[in-house]
């Protein structure tokens, strides 16, 4: 997910305060077997492990995984791309797959969704968060002169996909997921910082 990103500490990302509580509330009561796709430095995976879940986190950032492995939190951390072919031992083995603030960095977001589906058990839950984009928010950004800052073209890395509820729903439904639901978090409704999509892999 974040091969170009260097992680220099184990501090949680800035999304902790507004995003994590929403995601945790969508996860069934422990214990679950959870995959964190694009886990970065493992901060959220560690949080899930502390709640009693069995957690595997993966990210292609070597610095992030090195930090995650120092946590001694019982989670397993793997340095691998979210695009990588699903190992046989992971196929159909997870109750929940989470991927937070990752999909917007990917050239091929459908591959992340497909890998998640392969890893989930029948009736398993996929939870994805991404920065929110919608007409009103984009209008406010334009009127307040915030477009250049928000869609920063000068960064060597950053967001390359900009999802609305509609486009993320289409992506998930086309992959075969069912019951797509959204939660907004951060700021006020329709100006959210992020949206969280949750959906189910169909049963056998």
Kindly report, residue by residue over 86-123, the tens digit of the pLDDT: 999 999 999 999 999 999 989 999 999 999 999 999 99
Rounded Cα distance between 64 and 3, Å, is 9
Q: For position 67, what pLDDT does the model report?
A: 93
pLDDT greater at residue 189 or residue 74: 74
Tell me how crowded residue 172 is: count the other CB atoms within 10 A of its CB.
22
| Interatomic CA distance for residues 19 and 186, integer angstroms | 7
58-70 pLDDT, tens per residue?
999 999 999 999 9
With respect to residue 2, please indicate whether it lies within any of the assigned structural domains.
no
> Tell me: the pLDDT tens digits for 147-178?
777 677 666 666 789 899 999 999 999 999 99
What's the CA gap between 87 and 114, in Å, rounded? 13
Question: How far is Cα 121 from Cα 111, in angstroms, rounded to an integer?
Answer: 18
Instruction: Give 179's pLDDT tier (boundaries 50, 70, 90).
Output: very high
Residue 8 in domain: no
Residue pair 60/3 in contact (Cβ under 8 Å)? The answer is yes
- Integer-rounded Cα radius of gyration of the chain: 16
**25-57 residues labelled b (16+ CB within 10 A) or e (exposed):** eebeeeebbbbbbbbbbbbbbbbbbeeebbbbb
Which comes out higher in pLDDT, residue 18 or 150? Answer: 18
CATH number at residue 114: 3.40.50.150
Q: How many domains does the chain have?
A: 1
Q: Looking at the domain assignment, is residue 9 inside a domain?
A: no
pLDDT of residue 11: 67
Specify if 11 maps to a domain: no
Stretch 183-203: mean pLDDT? 92
Residue 23 in any domain: the answer is: yes
Going by the DSSP 8-state scheme, the letter that residue 141 receives in this structure is H
Cis peptide, bond prior to residue 31, ω within 30 of zero? yes
Using pLDDT thresholds of 50, 70 and 90, give the confidence band for residue 9.
low
The span from the CA of 118 to the CA of 114, in Å, is 6
- Residue 4, domain member (yes or no): no
Hey, is 159 helix, strand or coil? coil
Neighbour count for residue 202 (Cβ, 10 Å): 13
pLDDT greater than 70 at residue 74: yes
Domain that holds residue 133: 16-200
Does the pLDDT of residue 43 top 80, yes or no? yes
Residue 21 is assigned to a structural domain of this protein: yes
pLDDT number for residue 78: 97
Q: What is the pLDDT of residue 1?
A: 40
Least confident of 44-48, 146-150, 163-167, 190-194: 146-150
Residue 10 forms part of a structural domain: no
């Amino acid at each position: 997910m974040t091969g170009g990103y260097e992680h220099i500490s184990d501090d949680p990302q800035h999304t902790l305060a507004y995003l994590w509580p929403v995601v945790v509330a969508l996860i069934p009561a422990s214990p679950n077997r959870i995959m964190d796709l694009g886990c970065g430095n493992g901060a959220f995976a560690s949080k899930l492990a502390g709640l009693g879940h069995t957690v595997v986190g993966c990210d292609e950032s070597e610095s992030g995984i090195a930090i995650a492995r120092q946590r001694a939190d019982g989670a397993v951390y793997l340095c691998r791309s979210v695009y990588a072919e699903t190992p046989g031992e992971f196929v159909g083995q997870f109750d929940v797959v989470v991927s937070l603030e990752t999909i917007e960095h990917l050239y091929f977001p459908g591959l992340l969704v497909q890998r998640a589906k392969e890893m989930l058990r029948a009736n398993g839950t996929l939870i994805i968060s991404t920065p929110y984009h919608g007409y009103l928010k984009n209008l406010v950004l334009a009127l307040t002169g915030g477009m250049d800052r928000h869609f920063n073209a000068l960064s060597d890395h950053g967001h390359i996909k900009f999802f609305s509820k509609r486009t993320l729903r289409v992506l998930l439904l086309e992959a075969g997921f069912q019951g797509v639901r959204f939660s907004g978090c951060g700021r006020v409704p329709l100006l959210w910082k992020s949206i969280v999509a949750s959906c189910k892999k169909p049963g056998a």
